[in-house]
Structure 1
Amino acid sequence: MIEWTISRIELPLKFPWKIARGTSFTKTNFIITADCDGTIGKGEIAFNTRYGESEDSIESGFRQFLDHGAEELNSLEKLIQLVHDLELDSSLCFGLESALAHANATMSGRTIHQLLCLPQVHGVSTSFSLPIMEPSEVQSFLNKHNLSRFPALKIKLGSVGGVDLVQEVAKYYQGPLRLDANEAYSDPSAYMKLCDSLKTLPIQFIEQPFAASAFELYREVKEKSLFPIFADESLTSGEVVPEFKELFHGVNVKLMKAGGYMRALKQLRTARELGLSTMLGCMVETSLGISSAMNLANNVDFCDLDGCLLISEDPFDAVSEEGGVLNYKYVL
């Protein structure tokens, strides 16, 4: 018998989080607890309104889950099938799967990576993400947060002002840069102009310049783009299909989008088979969610797992960071 509970947490951010879709000062997430006769497992839900998720949809989905025999689930396979059949929000699916996985791992004397038959991770290098800001704010922001210690920086872009912002960051940071447009562009010529203006800078790739469904635009610019293009919003819980090779150079896989460990692992495996570069990303989340993602960090090309570094109060404190490298403080 499993007792399931859900709790809401408010996470104050260290600084205003401005991206192309808006600005946030706090993040609301949920924590799922699975109590298996005294053995506790927890999972995080970092829902995202971009994918039609909300506090209401998470809470109603959780009630629906309880109404369909959740107390009697005795395996991850049955849980995965149930949440799939119920078509629950992807982040809720992951939170439920993660909670039961942690409980099962504890009961069997294993860790999550052992449960998933994955190699243990020792140190994960992550980029750090900069929100959209005025170029005049860049130097003080980099200094205040000591961002020179990170092996790469990711810069959020809007539809205007991106060139000045990136150039200003490059003045004060000497490492590689990653750009994230969050679907800000609609005109291929404007995107190509952005690339041309930044062609001398050490840019590794750009994420999702156009709308998630604008496949014709990605097909048009892929071979012309001066920088590799990574799919983010274009890849949620579905499969990495062969058509992606015609549209993107890489994919950004996130547990909260994929809806579970198994789906995320399949996305990464398929992407590699198709010759696509792989990145493991995250939402704004606590170290509970980040430590879960770290289990998948072997054999990916890039990691962007700074979600718990963006919040001012982490209730789990499960991950340490030094020199841009994440390590487990304790294994959940």
Structure 2
Amino acid sequence: MKLRLHHFDLPLRHVFTISRESISVQPTLIVELSDGEHRGFGEATANAYYGATVERMVADLRSLQDEIEAHSSSDPESLWDQIGLRLTDDFFALCALDQAAHDLHGKLKNKPLHQIWGQTLDQCPVSNFTIGIDRVEVMIEKLQEVPGWPVYKIKLGTAQDLEIIEALRKHTDATFRVDANCGWSAQETIDNSARLVDLGVEFIEQPLPADDWEGQRRVFENSSLPLIADESCILEADVAACEQAFHGVNIKLVKCGGLTPARRMIRDAKSRGLKVMVGCMTESTVGISAIAQLLPELDYVDMDGAALLSRDIARGATVVQGRCQFPTGNGSGAELFEDNLIP
């Protein structure tokens, strides 16, 4: 296999704000694996909260380039097992590599990944569209720019969170999900849940800091709404800890290291009676296309990352008013636009 790395800065349609940061441009790394005829693509975005930078990912993958290129393109999971031992502190880079290996594998097999995994597209959850924190009137404008989505995720963690939801509710009958990104206290979450349940909110995502397990268990016992772990569920070992503190888990491919561990986490979570969601970062269609292949295995999905961009770099799976339109290609179906390819 031949390894190529592509660095892009993805421009956003709007400044995107959550409880801890704001961004207008999203740096991302695209990993390309090629056998000379077929190209597989994977993605990992930079993320300050997790200490992930494109420069570090590039350096880590370059240091293992010979080992990666010597591996067979026919077994992405064994590549993950082998390279994962060397990238234990850079799961973002491992994710991009794993996605690319799966995409290439599917293209060589002439099948989409979900078919290789024995899945059909009969039952797929709809995605939410995310509204970042802003002035209430601006959040209303953002909501009105994208009508027709069945679910909206509202980022919270401000002094007027309930007022935000009340204001947005006047402009849509769609389901809401709220995500505090670790911005609430235990009592605040309990109190807010009692109000939000009457405002058409489906669940609360990661209300407390990731390490506040005592507070989270108290919320779990007293919340009026289901609770979904995000920052508290990063790696495979975290699923077990979430069983007694959350009703479900949000798995992010970049955080856990790619499709290989994500599918194990899905099986583990389901065996524990937890609802399963896969979420995205603000990312291109490359990463979204990988998530799309998991849809038949999920209860919920957040795959609007490419819809938040003003300019994409790839074609593949698209999300239109919450519903995934699957690509016709094999693997994940992702392809970089031709002007982004290295000959």
- TM-score, normalised to structure 1, is 0.92
Matched with 1:110 is: 111
More divergent stretch after superposition (98-107 vs 17-26): 98-107
Matched with 1:128 is: 129
More divergent stretch after superposition (219-228 vs 100-109): 100-109
Alpha-carbon distance between aligned partners in 2 of 1:264 and 1:18, rounded to the nearest angstrom: 26
Letter in 2 for 1:84: G
Matched with 1:23 is: 22
Alpha-carbon distance between aligned partners in 1 of 2:52 and 2:103, rounded to the nearest angstrom: 24
Deviations, residues 30-65 of structure 1 (Å, cap 9, x unaligned):
111112133211111123222221223212211222
- In structure 2, which of residues 222, 244, 247 is the aligned counterpart of residue 246 of structure 1? 244
More divergent stretch after superposition (102-111 vs 265-274): 102-111
Alpha-carbon distance between aligned partners in 1 of 2:202 and 2:224, rounded to the nearest angstrom: 10
Alpha-carbon distance between aligned partners in 2 of 1:12 and 1:124, rounded to the nearest angstrom: 27
Letter in 2 for 1:308: A
Matched with 1:198 is: 196
Matched with 1:14 is: 13
Q: For residue 150 of structure 1, report the CA deviation from its aligned partner.
A: 0.6
Deviations, residues 218-249 of structure 1 (Å, cap 9, x unaligned):
11111101111110011112235433221111
Partner secondary structure for residue 268 of structure 1? helix
Q: CA RMSD in A?
A: 1.8
**Cα gap change, 1:167 to 1:280, in 2 (>3 Å):** same
Alpha-carbon distance between aligned partners in 1 of 2:110 and 2:239, rounded to the nearest angstrom: 37
Alpha-carbon distance between aligned partners in 1 of 2:104 and 2:127, rounded to the nearest angstrom: 28
- In structure 2, which of residues 61, 69, 72 is the aligned counterpart of residue 71 of structure 1? 69
Q: Aligned residues: percent identity?
A: 27
User: Contact between 1:287 and 1:318, CA under 8 Å: does it hold in 2?
Assistant: yes
- TM-score, normalised to structure 2, is 0.90
Alpha-carbon distance between aligned partners in 2 of 1:142 and 1:76, rounded to the nearest angstrom: 40
Q: For residue 304 of structure 1, report the CA deviation from its aligned partner.
A: 1.1
Between Structure 1 and Structure 2, how many residues are aligned?
327
Unaligned runs of 5+ in 1: none
Unaligned runs of 5+ in 2: 334-343
User: Contact between 1:240 and 1:271, CA under 8 Å: does it hold in 2?
Assistant: no
Deviations, residues 251-306 of structure 1 (Å, cap 9, x unaligned):
00122222121211111111111111111211111111111111111132111110
Alpha-carbon distance between aligned partners in 2 of 1:214 and 1:88, rounded to the nearest angstrom: 23
Q: How does 1:249-264 map to 2 (within 5 A)?
A: 249-264=247-262
**Cα gap change, 1:238 to 1:299, in 2 (>3 Å):** closer
Q: How does 1:150-165 map to 2 (within 5 A)?
A: 150-165=149-164
User: Contact between 1:31 and 1:95, CA under 8 Å: does it hold in 2?
Assistant: yes
Partner secondary structure for residue 222 of structure 2? coil
Letter in 1 for 2:203: F
User: Contact between 1:291 and 1:318, CA under 8 Å: does it hold in 2?
Assistant: yes
Q: How does 1:1-332 map to 2 (within 5 A)?
A: 2-66=1-65, 69-74=67-72, 75-86=75-86, 87-120=88-121, 125-143=126-144, 145-147=145-147, 149-185=148-184, 187-331=185-329, 332=333
Matched with 2:339 is: none
